[in-house]
Amino acid sequence: MSIYHRGLETNIDSNSSDYYRRFQNTENMDFNEQIIPSQRQTFWDKNRNLLFLVAGLVVGCFVTVVISYAFFSLGQKRGHGNCNHVTAGAQTENRTSVITDSGTKGKSGFKKIFVACTGNRQSVLDAWRNSSMGGDISNIKDSCTNRHLRSTLIDNWNGSLIDEVKVELFRNEQLAVEMFFDGRGSTSSNWFTRKRLRSNSFNDLTQMSTFNFFSMNGDQTVDRHFFINRNYGGCANDKGWMVVIDKADANYRPCKFDKLPGKAYPYILYGPDQQIAHYDYGLYAVADMMVISISTLG
């Protein structure tokens, strides 16, 4: 059977109910509404421009992230390279960042009251305690002599006026270690304690760290003074942040770091690279000078 419908001629079985259903449906549609295969649009056809735009944005973001990461990694590598020089003493660039990170930025007005020097064969602790053991001077400079230098302000310590006490270790005229202690209500003998530690340049030293010694007297059996130590456990396991090995005539010298070949007492040892020292393994540095300063309230 041949049926002609609005310009479309189709040969189809007249008994096909499927045909009649489709034919009736199209009869009820306006010609412009009838679906013509050649005019069908897929989802891609309708949204092609939008999809291209989205894809472009995704690619652009990815490229931006990759470039940013590359520059960041390069900067990190360059910055890490500068830190390799801290072992012998903090460089100027690194020292600034360390002080800022430790919360000591903006502190000023410190007056030097004590300078201890390595190798002059005088006890650092005795010089701090006894005016006759050090040079009593009013204006201390950052220099070492054959005597430790001290100010009479130590003898006239006034905890009601002192705000902070600063300890600095120098090596090759470069600042290597810096620590700040709360001086309020203190005495000349009790300010060097864990509870009074405010900030410092070590990366792994806080009030919450583990200690077996943190005091000026330290371990007097072996004359380890100004001693900040984490643990004993046999010489090979001794670890700490700072120690003054003070006199040659201590009761005994059990460990390698208690008696350095070719060096005269006292030794001022500290952890290099702003980290804890592992003394008997040689993982420490020797400071040339320790400077103690105070700042006052008001």
pLDDT digits (tens, 9 = 90+) for 169-206: 999 999 999 999 999 999 999 999 999 999 999 999 99
pLDDT-derived band at 250 (thresholds 50, 70, 90) equals low
- Domain membership of residue 13 as a residue range: 2-39
pTM of the model: 0.64
In a domain, 78, yes or no: no
**Residue 263 pLDDT more than 60?**
yes
| Residue-level pLDDT at 253 | 84
Residue 169's H or E segment, with its range, is strand 162-171
**Residue 27 pLDDT more than 60?**
no
pLDDT-derived band at 94 (thresholds 50, 70, 90) equals very low
Q: What is the 3-state secondary structure (H, E, C) of 19-69?
A: HHHHHHHHHCCCHHHCCCHHHCCCHHHHHHHHHHHHHHHHHHHHHHHHHHH
Please give the C-alpha separations between residue 261 and each of 7, 137, 238, 264, 274, in angstroms, as whole numbers.
Answer: 113, 33, 19, 9, 25
List residues bridging with 179 in a β-sheet.
167, 200
**Residue 77 pLDDT more than 60?**
no
In a domain, 144, yes or no: yes
Do 177 and 267 belong together in one domain?
yes
Instruction: Select from 288, 74, 79, 269 the least CA-distant residue to 175.
Output: 288
Do 266 and 177 belong together in one domain?
yes
Place of tokens 């400077």: 291
Residues 102, 201: contact at Cβ < 8 Å?
yes
For the chain, the C-alpha Rg in angstroms (whole number) is: 39
Average pLDDT, the chain: 76
Distance from the first to the final alpha carbon of the chain: 113
In a domain, 246, yes or no: yes
- Cα 277 from Cα 241, distance rounded (Å): 6
In a domain, 285, yes or no: yes
In a domain, 72, yes or no: no
Peptide bond just before 266 cis, omega within 30 deg: yes
**Residue 245 pLDDT more than 90?**
yes
| Residue-level pLDDT at 95 | 35
Do 134 and 7 belong together in one domain?
no
| Residue-level pLDDT at 82 | 33
pLDDT-derived band at 227 (thresholds 50, 70, 90) equals very high
Do 128 and 248 belong together in one domain?
yes
Do 20 and 148 belong together in one domain?
no
Do 164 and 35 belong together in one domain?
no
Overall number of domains in the chain: 2
| Collapsed DSSP state (helix, strand, coil) of residue 244 | strand
**Residue 60 pLDDT more than 90?**
no
Do 143 and 35 belong together in one domain?
no
- Cα 163 from Cα 92, distance rounded (Å): 26
| Residue-level pLDDT at 58 | 73
Share of the chain above pLDDT 90, in %: 50
Do 32 and 147 belong together in one domain?
no
Do 27 and 99 belong together in one domain?
no
Q: Which residues contact 239 (CB under 8 A, 6 or more apart)?
A: 229, 230, 231, 276, 277, 278, 279
- Cα 232 from Cα 69, distance rounded (Å): 44
**Residue 265 pLDDT more than 70?**
yes
Place of tokens 């000023």: 108
Q: Which of 90-104, 194-208, 280-294 is least confident? A: 90-104
**Residue 110 pLDDT more than 60?**
yes
| Residue-level pLDDT at 126 | 94
In a domain, 147, yes or no: yes
| Residue-level pLDDT at 90 | 40
Do 19 and 166 belong together in one domain?
no
pLDDT tens digits, residue range 272-284?
999 999 999 999 9
* Section 10-37 average pLDDT: 48
> How many CA atoms lie less than 13 Å away from 291 in the CB half-sphere?
22
In a domain, 46, yes or no: no
Do 34 and 99 belong together in one domain?
no
- Cα 166 from Cα 111, distance rounded (Å): 9
| Residue-level pLDDT at 210 | 96
| Residue-level pLDDT at 102 | 35
| Collapsed DSSP state (helix, strand, coil) of residue 121 | coil
Length of the chain: 298
Do 246 and 127 belong together in one domain?
yes
In a domain, 52, yes or no: no
The H-assigned helical ranges of the chain are 17-27, 43-83, 92-101, 124-129
